[in-house]
Structure 1
């Protein structure tokens, strides 16, 4: 399993494109709008190859010819209305709790502090982040 550092600011999918003699990864505008990244700032980037799966969850074995590959961002690992138990790992710039679930996907939880283990309901899902509310607070914080 890949260790996700507390300093993780963003997770998104993008396609590497060639532009003249350089290769470019485009950052979605939502990352700028949500202050995950800022233009002109240098970031450390991890790159993972997208591996689509079949409906049964098995890996597709595709041709090694990279020109035949199509890029589809992975679906978020949560759904609106889903109830889950999470651990709040850190606090974001706006003071909200941040939990990470499968694949390092970020869930923002207002009124939560690092170490809290609340039960949450996912209220809004975006490609790279979800927003949730606490439905059952961590009993240790009552």
Structure 2
């Protein structure tokens, strides 16, 4: 089970690569572009094993996103708003048994009574800087 602290700045997947006798995790440029991280600061990093990770998938190079236009405006703040209704996919379950979904920029949405693989429609009830809490307004139709 994964506990999501309020101080969580970013959540993304990346392979670990060996380079000149050290190991490197590449941080997606979007994390800096969206101001989740700054290149000139030091951060604590947690490593979680990815479900279904294999040696062959670890050795693959990460896919890079196409470059964004330099004139595009970098969004600030959480990508969700209180009262917003949206569809999410539950990826994992947290320590308290709540479902965890990720939306734009890796932003975490906690959904009680949801399980990995569920795709409920949720209403955002509370928004914090790094995480939002939502309630299910329409259950995953595949569960019926």
TM-score normalized with structure 2 length: 0.54
- Work out whether 1:86 is the aligned partner of 2:100: no
Partner of 2:9: 11
The answer as to whether partners of 1:11 and 1:104 remain within 8 angstroms in 2 is: no
Partner of 1:95: 97
The answer as to whether partners of 2:9 and 2:37 remain within 8 angstroms in 1 is: no
Structure 2: runs of 5 or more not aligned: 11-35, 48-70
- Work out whether 1:123 is the aligned partner of 2:121: no
Partner of 1:107: 109
The answer as to whether partners of 2:122 and 2:134 remain within 8 angstroms in 1 is: yes
TM-score normalized with structure 1 length: 0.55
The answer as to whether partners of 2:3 and 2:95 remain within 8 angstroms in 1 is: no
Higher RCO, 1 or 2 (CA under 8 Å, sep at least 6)?
2
CA 1:79–1:94 in structure 2 vs 1: closer, same or farther (change >3 Å)? same
Following superposition, which runs of at least 4 residues in structure 1 exceed 6 angstroms of deviation?
none
- How is 1:1-142 mapped onto 2 (pairs within 5 angstroms)? 10-12=8-10, 13=36, 24-25=42-43, 43-44=45-46, 58-59=72-73, 74-142=76-144
Structure 1: runs of 5 or more not aligned: 1-6, 18-22, 26-41, 46-56, 61-72
Q: Shift of the alpha carbon at 1:139? A: 1.2
